[in-house]
């Protein structure tokens, strides 16, 4: 019986999602808990696994479609039911079983020289006919009190069945249609088998190997890997069965997949099994990133070609993440009176300290950047300036200031789908190495869109780093309902007057936007001065952990 797989609950207050990719096609064989669709919800992209195993009979969604919780995704035919012949009569017994041929007593008599092999007896199994020509050997039917006699079909002698060998090693003509006996049960799945056609004739012994091959294809190995690791494996063409997991209980992490991919292409690496899923090829509609295109080559925008009164255009439905960002930005600027302070921090000593740390000292996948030092400085300062670590509840007859006694810092990450802000929690209690590892993890999860909605909630302050892209100062929009946001520009060498001398110093531009309903200009200036003091004295910062 076919099973309809419906979209399950995706999270609190999430009623719909957009289909980013359909990972299966009609006719595919899937195993239990295999991902079948990739959905985008607000700022997260998640893969939805199907708990049912079998053949995909129907795909009910398509890429770009908006679907609701409870809507039908795919229809699955369980293994053992999808191959049933549609024209089989209910009362007609199946054709000859591999376990041994049999014919009814009314069939033509057997030749004396033909060997006779009795098939295993079942009290409730009916007699089944074997294809027989005029010279076909006669084989007694299984013994059973309720076995009805069924006339044997006639076939040309050229396709007659050869003399039976013991038990399951009966060679069958390619033209003979072979089906399991009625009531036969698969030893692996327990499903009732009927109407299966055999493959092309194989050498002797193929019948013995068939059950093992079937069990290997029906019950695949369960691989302990999350959506992020599986998605990365598909992109890199890595077979997860060849990857040794280093996570808890052998769970495969994205870092393990990257290491496996590096071993595949490294000279002298140990050969691994070829990937079962080919790496995805870029779509013709996928726009080329400006930094990847030639300087003189224009970038083709995404969308469907169209035309307006002035020339050709392209139209693209706004992605859910972009709609979410737009609504959040409008809400922030229409609610919060923004003010921005600008200043610079001398990070010459801090940069020298950072560069003195050997590469890979914190781990092979952790790169020590300025961000962990900056987050630690901000976290320590927030604990001394409660108004910067608060929010406003302006509901009628309530109007309260909510001071947070925890420090959760959001890190703005530029991703192919848009800006997302995953949150690192309890930063004030973390050491700088712990912050570095946490930032590397959340940034990777954000760029691969493998994070949950909860990971973007609960922030008390946000830091946006434009240094990798460029620029100095900006007027960032606050991440509502927070009351402040710090934007960091690209550090640059500048002449600075120190005492009576002009020195070359590495200066970091800072832009602090704040909610003027709660934060006064003097409060913001003191906060920013203290952050700068921590950055300009890295020794104190290290002593604080």
Distance CA 58, CA 26 (A): 5
CB 348 within 8 A of CB 505: yes
Distance CA 217, CA 276 (A): 13
The torsion defined by the Cα of 508, 509, 513 and 518, in degrees rounded to 10, comes to 60
Residue 282 has pLDDT above 80, yes or no: no
CB 507 within 8 A of CB 346: yes
pLDDT at 204: 45
For the residues 116-120, what does the mean pLDDT come to? 48
pLDDT at 284: 42
pLDDT band of residue 183 (cuts 50, 70, 90) is low
Find all residues with CB under 8 Å of 195, minimum gap 6, and list them: 83, 84, 85, 88, 94, 179
Q: Which residue has the higher pLDDT, 261 or 227?
A: 261
User: Distances in Å between the alpha carbon of 490 and those of 189, 211, 467, 531?
Assistant: 61, 64, 4, 17
Distance CA 319, CA 314 (A): 15
pLDDT band of residue 80 (cuts 50, 70, 90) is low
DSSP state of 313: E
Distance CA 384, CA 530 (A): 9
pLDDT band of residue 176 (cuts 50, 70, 90) is very low
DSSP state of 324: H
Distance CA 272, CA 263 (A): 9
Distance CA 281, CA 323 (A): 27
Distance CA 161, CA 170 (A): 9
**From 65-74, 195-204, 213-222, the region with the lowest mean pLDDT:** 213-222
3-state secondary structure of 3: strand
DSSP state of 241: G
pLDDT at 400: 95
Residue 467 has pLDDT above 90, yes or no: no
Q: DSSP characters for 213-225? A: HHHHHHSPPP--B
Residue 449 has pLDDT above 60, yes or no: yes
Question: Is the pTM of the predicted complex or chain greater than 0.95?
Answer: no
408-417: pLDDT as tens digits: 999 998 887 7
Residue 366 has pLDDT above 60, yes or no: yes
Average pLDDT, the chain: 76
Told to judge if 31 belongs to the known catalytic residues of this protein, a careful annotator would answer no
Distance CA 495, CA 504 (A): 5
DSSP state of 192: B
**Checking phi first, is residue 397 left (phi over 0); if not, alpha (psi -120 to 50) or beta?**
left
Closest to 302 (Cα-Cα) out of 312, 315, 289, 321: 315
pLDDT band of residue 64 (cuts 50, 70, 90) is confident
pLDDT at 14: 81
- For residue 30, the Cα-to-chain-centroid distance in whole angstroms is 16
pLDDT at 215: 39
Phi, psi of 313 (to 5 degrees): -140, 175
The β-bridge partners of 227 are none
pLDDT band of residue 113 (cuts 50, 70, 90) is very low
pLDDT band of residue 182 (cuts 50, 70, 90) is low
Distance CA 415, CA 412 (A): 10
Distance CA 400, CA 483 (A): 14
- The distance in angstroms from the start CA to the end CA of the chain is 61
Q: Highest-confidence range of 20-29, 199-208, 446-455, 501-510, by mean pLDDT?
A: 501-510
For the residues 486-498, what does the mean pLDDT come to? 95
Distance CA 100, CA 104 (A): 13
DSSP state of 322: H
pLDDT at 278: 47
Kindly state the tokens that stand for 63.
């890429």
Find where tokens 């064989």 sit: 29
Residue 131 has pLDDT above 80, yes or no: no
pLDDT at 361: 85
Packing angle, helices 432-447 and 370-382, rounded to 10 = 110
Residue 202 has pLDDT above 60, yes or no: no
CB 70 within 8 A of CB 48: no
Query: Could you say which of 31, 60, 338, 516 is catalytic?
Result: 516
pLDDT band of residue 164 (cuts 50, 70, 90) is very low
Find all residues with CB under 8 Å of 76, minimum gap 6, and list them: 2, 3, 5, 30, 50, 52, 53, 54, 55, 56, 57
User: Distances in Å between the alpha carbon of 375 and those of 134, 348, 426, 432?
Assistant: 89, 18, 11, 9
Distance CA 443, CA 150 (A): 70
- Is residue 196 packed enough to be buried (19+ CB in 10 Å), middle (13-18) or exposed (0-12)? middle
Q: Which residue has the higher pLDDT, 145 or 301?
A: 301
pLDDT band of residue 524 (cuts 50, 70, 90) is very high
3-state secondary structure of 388: helix
Distance CA 9, CA 53 (A): 20
- Is residue 364 packed enough to be buried (19+ CB in 10 Å), middle (13-18) or exposed (0-12)? exposed
Strand order in the sheet with 66-68: 44-50, 34-41, 16-22, 66-68
- Encode burial over 497-533: b for 16+ CB neighbours within 10 A, e otherwise: eeeeeeeebbbbbbbbbbbeebbeeebbeebbebbbe
Beta strand pairing call for 72-77 and 338-346: unpaired
Find where tokens 């002698």 sit: 157
Q: Which residue has the higher pLDDT, 457 or 116?
A: 457
* CB half-sphere exposure, 544, CA atoms < 13 A: 19
DSSP state of 157: G
User: Distances in Å between the alpha carbon of 198 and those of 163, 322, 492, 502?
Assistant: 19, 52, 72, 88
């Amino acid at each position: 019986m076919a099973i309809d797989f419906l979209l399950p609950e995706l999270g609190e207050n999430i009623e719909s999602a957009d289909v980013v990719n359909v990972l299966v096609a009609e006719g595919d064989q899937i195993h239990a808990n295999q991902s079948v669709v990739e959905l985008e919800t607000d700022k997260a992209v998640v893969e939805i696994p199907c708990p049912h195993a079998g053949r995909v009979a129907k795909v009910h969604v398509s890429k770009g479609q908006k679907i609701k919780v409870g809507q039908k995704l795919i229809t699955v035919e369980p293994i053992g039911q999808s191959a049933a012949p549609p024209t089989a009569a209910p009362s007609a017994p199946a054709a000859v079983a591999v376990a041994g041929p049999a014919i009814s007593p009314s069939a033509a008599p057997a030749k004396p020289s033909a060997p006779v092999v009795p098939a295993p007896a079942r009290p409730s199994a009916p007699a089944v006919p074997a294809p027989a020509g005029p010279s076909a050997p006669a084989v007694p039917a299984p013994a059973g009190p309720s076995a009805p006699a069924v006339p044997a079909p006639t076939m040309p002698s050229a396709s007659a069945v050869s003399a039976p060998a013991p038990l399951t090693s009966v060679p069958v003509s390619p033209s003979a249609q072979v089906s399991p006996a009625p009531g036969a049960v698969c030893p692996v799945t327990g499903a009732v088998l009927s109407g299966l056609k055999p493959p092309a004739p194989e050498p002797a012994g193929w019948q013995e190997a068939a059950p093992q091959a079937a069990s290997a294809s029906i019950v695949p190995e369960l691989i302990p890997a999350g959506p992020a690791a599986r998605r990365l494996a598909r992109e890199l063409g890595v077979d997860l069965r060849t990857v040794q997991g280093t996570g808890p209980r052998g769970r495969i992490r994205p870092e393990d997949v990257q290491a496996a991919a590096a071993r595949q292409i490294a000279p002298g690496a140990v050969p691994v099994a070829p990937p079962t899923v080919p790496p995805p090829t870029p779509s013709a509609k996928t726009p080329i990133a400006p930094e990847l295109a030639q300087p003189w080559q224009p970038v083709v925008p995404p969308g469907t070609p169209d035309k307006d009164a002035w020339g050709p255009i392209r139209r693209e439905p706004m992605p859910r993440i972009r709609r979410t960002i737009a609504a959040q930005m409008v809400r922030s600027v229409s609610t919060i009176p923004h003010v921005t302070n600008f200043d610079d921090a001398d990070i010459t000593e801090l940069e020298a300290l950072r560069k003195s740390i050997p590469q890979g000292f914190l781990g092979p996948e952790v790169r020590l950047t300025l961000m962990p030092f900056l987050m630690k400085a901000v976290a320590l300062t927030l604990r001394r300036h409660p108004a910067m670590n608060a929010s406003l509840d302006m509901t009628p007859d309530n109007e309260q200031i909510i001071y947070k006694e925890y420090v959760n810092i959001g890190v703005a990450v530029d991703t192919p789908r848009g800006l997302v802000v995953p949150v690192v929690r309890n930063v004030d209690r973390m050491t700088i190495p712990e912050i570095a590892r946490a930032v590397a993890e959340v940034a990777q999860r954000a760029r691969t869109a493998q994070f949950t909605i909860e990971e973007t909630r609960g922030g008390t302050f946000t830091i946006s780093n434009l240094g990798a892209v460029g620029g100095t100062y900006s007027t960032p929009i606050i991440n509502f309902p927070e009351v402040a946001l710090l934007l960091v520009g690209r550090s640059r060498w500048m002449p600075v007057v120190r005492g009576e001398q002009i020195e070359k110093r590495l200066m970091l531009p800072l832009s602090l936007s704040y909610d003027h309903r709660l934060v006064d200009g003097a409060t913001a200036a003191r906060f920013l001065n203290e952050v700068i003091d921590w950055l300009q004295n890295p020794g104190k910062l290290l002593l604080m952990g």
